[in-house]
Structures are given as structure tokens and as C-alpha cells.
Amino acid sequence: MKEIVLKSTLRQYRLDELSDGEQILIRKAIEATDNAYVPYSHFHVGAALMLADGTVFIGANQENAAFPVTLCAERSAIFAAQSQCPSQPITALAIAARNKDGLLHDPITPCGSCRQVILEMEQRYGQPVKIYLYGTSGIYVINSVKDILPLSFVDDGKL
């Protein structure tokens, strides 16, 4: 038997340790939580992404009584950006969440579907997407979705 160990690296920062641009992106993700439509879970998630040209798009989770057709904040922002600016790579993505008690203490991570979509963006443009996960206790900074999606599905074109 052979044991394979998978490791992920991320860094935790205070908001004031990040650049002005990074702080703005995180604040936009926090503001985007106000746009969530969450009549069932009451769990507001906001995302803000930056394109290579500096354009920022936001997204918020959108629920539906038919749960499979809900949309996460991350994919909401990514699909809006891709629909309007398909030639621009995504360079950064910030995510924040709150519930009835306010912003969450610990950062939340993207779901598996969102991780796969982010991976597709990294593959499409041949560059990583830096991810900022906001919590009041600190911000996790991840250099590539591959750091939180080990053994990811990648279609290399070989059948």
C-alpha cells in the first residue's frame, strides 16, 4: 500500500493587512450579501470578483422553492462576468456570508460546484484566481482553487 498525502496552503490575514484593492473587493462581497434572496435558509452569501482590467462584478445567492435551481453567490458573479466580459480573466474572488446574527465569525468556503466552476475559469484563462474568504475572525487567502480542490476533475482532452 502507498499512502498519498494531500496538502493545502492558505494564509489568514486581518483586513487591515491587505491592500486597499483587496479590502475594497472584500467590502463589495460583504455589501453583496444584501442582495441575497434567501427566504428558506436565511443565509446570505455575497461574492465580488475582479477581472484583469479592474472591472468588478458582484453576485449573491438566490434561492428557490425547487432547491436544485438555486444559485450560489460565486457562480452568480462568475456567470455575470463571463456573459458580459468573456475576454477578461478573473484575477480575484472574495466571498462573505451572514446569518440573522450578522457576519460570520469564521470564513465559509465555496461549495463543490462553485469550486469546479472556478477551476474552469483558471483553465480557460491559464491563470489562477486568488480567493479571499471573509470572516470577522480573519480573511483566508488562497492562491488558487486547486489548493481547496485536490484531485480536481480536469478534462485534458485525452479519451
Residue found by looking up cell 446570505 in the block: 44
Question: Which of 3, 17, 63, 74 does the annotation list as catalytic?
Answer: 74
Task: Name the burial class of residue 135, with classes exposed (0-12), middle (13-18) and buried (19+) by CB atoms within 10 angstroms of its CB.
Answer: middle
Residue environment code for 45-73, b if the CB has 16+ CB neighbours within 10 A, otherwise e = bbbbbbbeeeebbbbbbbbeeeeeeebbb
Q: Is 22 labeled as catalytic in the residue annotation?
A: no
Residue found by looking up cell 480573511 in the block: 139
Residue found by looking up cell 435551481 in the block: 69
Number of Cβ atoms within 10 Å of the Cβ of 113: 12
Query: What is the Cα–Cα distance from 119 to 75, expressed in whole angstroms?
Result: 12
Please identify every residue annotated as catalytic: 74
